[in-house]
Structure formats: C-alpha cells, structure tokens
Amino acid sequence: MNTSVSAQASTPRRQDVEPLVRLRNIEKSFDHGAGRFHVLRRIDLDVRPGEFVSVMGPSGAGKSTLLHLLGLQDGDWTGEYALAGVEVGPLDTKARSRLRNENVGFVFQSYHLLDELTVAENLDVPLSYRDVRRSERESLVAETLDRFGLAARAKLYPRQLSGGQQQLVGIARALVSKPRLLLADEPTGNLHSEQAREIMQLFRELNAAGMTIVQVTHSEDNARHGTRVVRLRDGWIDADEGR
C-alpha cells in the first residue's frame, strides 16, 4: 500500500480558537440492578480545529461510547454538546443526522464496506445522504479515488482488496464529503504492523493538511502520531496530555 496526501502548513493552534467540539458535564448511564452504571462521568472536553486527539484507556473506560457520542450516533446522554458551534441537545433526530452528515466522517476497525458495491460505489454512499447532484457526486468520488491512489481499483469489490486497501477505502469514504471532523475507532486494529504504520502516516498527513481527528486506540505507537492524548478511566477523564 503506497499512499500520499499532499500536506500544507496547519493553522496555528491557539487556545482562543473556537472549539469544533465542546463538551460540558457530559454523563451517560443506564439502569443496572438496583442502581445505575455510569459509562461517562462529568466529561469536559474541547477539540479545536487542526487537533489530532487520541482517546486511550483500558477496556470499559468509555472510549467508544465517547466517540459514538461525538459522532451523534448516541443521543442518550446529559450535559451540553456543541459541534461546529451548534448545540446538539435541542436538535431532533433529523436535524442531528443532517449535522452529522455535514460535519463528521467515520473510520471503523472493521471497515464496514458494503460487499455488494464496488470501491467507487462505496465512496458514493455518504454523498447519497446529502443534497448533492449526481454529476457533483461523480466528480467528488473521482477526485477522492485519485487523491488516495485508488483510481485503478474503482471497479473492484472489497473482497478483492487486502485489509490495508479496504481500510484505505474506508478512510477515503469518510473524507469524500469533506467533513470537518474525522472520527476513527481503532483504525488499525485489523491490520498487520506495516499496514498500520502506513495508515497512521496517512492520518498524520491529513492532520498536517488541516483535518481535525479524534481516534480511539489502545496503541501508544498510534497515539504518538497525534498532538494530544486524552486518557479515560472508569468513565472519567484521567489525564489530558498535550493540551
């Protein structure tokens, strides 16, 4: 797998820049026996444009729950969440979906490609949820295929690709609609070490070009590619390194 994404100097990261993500006193819990089990506890977190944040912690710490909350896939929480300056709490399901589609791209550990669709058709899926003309969708797909060196594989199906190639398609699909925030859940968990290094190098290049990234990872090596590490323990933020 040979990838290259042209990078440009990032905008200086200043503490007075308006956060892209702003969480205040976020809590999530559910009934458990005679009491309640708390998954997230009093989470205060800002992620500013251009940051590359790695969320780490032991199993059960709340990492994936936090990521799904950031991606507007989980609405069962209390507190305040603003994404791109929009308060999420008051929004109905349709408005949250629109906000997510306009601002967030997802990369999953298990790729989540549609087996019956070609590489190009998989990239078209997120655009189909937006009000984008077919001609513009075709142009965006072609541009993204070229950007990630996938043009020659446009008509192949996921089963015809290696794991690293499938993850590259997953990243391309996440970015085809030009989101402001990229969320990645253990993005190298199913890859061998060389493929993992190449994917993380790609993330570094994307971040250097201005993409805001939040990844969940167990890997200290992966975390070192970012600009900041947030460590969770038992649902609490235990440390925020590099802020």
- Closest listed residue to residue 119, CA positions, set 142, 135, 100, 137: 142
Average pLDDT over residues 14-36: 85
- ∠ at Cα 211 (199, 180), nearest 5°? 125
Inter-residue contact 141 to 123 (CB < 8 Å): yes
Residue 12 has pLDDT above 50, yes or no: no
Residue 208: what pLDDT?
95
The DSSP bridge partners found for residue 52 are 213
SS3 92: coil
Residue 132: what pLDDT?
82
Select from 3.30.1950.10, 3.30.365.10, 1.20.1530.20, 3.40.50.300 the CATH code of 52-75+98-241.
3.40.50.300
Q: Where are the domains of the chain?
A: 52-75+98-241
Average pLDDT over residues 209-222: 94
Q: What is the pTM of this model?
A: 0.88
Which residues, at least 6 apart from 210, have a Cβ–Cβ distance to it below 8 Å? 8, 10, 11, 49, 50
Strands 228-233 and 52-56: parallel
Residue 27 has pLDDT above 60, yes or no: yes
Residue 242: what pLDDT?
82
Token pair listed for 139: 């142009």
- Closest listed residue to residue 214, CA positions, set 59, 20, 1: 20
Residue 195: what pLDDT?
87
Helices (H), the chain: 63-70, 93-103, 119-128, 134-147, 163-175, 193-208, 220-223
Which residues, at least 6 apart from 69, have a Cβ–Cβ distance to it below 8 Å? 26, 28, 40, 77, 81
Average pLDDT over residues 70-86: 94
Strands 236-241 and 21-32: unpaired
Residue 170 has pLDDT above 80, yes or no: yes
User: Residue 8's CB: how many other CB atoms inside 10 A?
Assistant: 8
Query: How confident is residue 5, by pLDDT bands cut at 50, 70 and 90?
Result: low
What is the average pLDDT value for the chain, to the nearest integer?
90
For 178-190, what is each residue's pLDDT tens digit? 999 999 999 888 8
Question: How far is Cα 214 from Cα 67, in angstroms, rounded to an integer?
Answer: 8
For 113-163, what is each residue's pLDDT tens digit? 999 999 999 999 999 888 788 999 999 999 999 999 999 999 999 999 999
Residue 10: what pLDDT?
44
- Closest listed residue to residue 37, CA positions, set 11, 65, 13, 57: 65
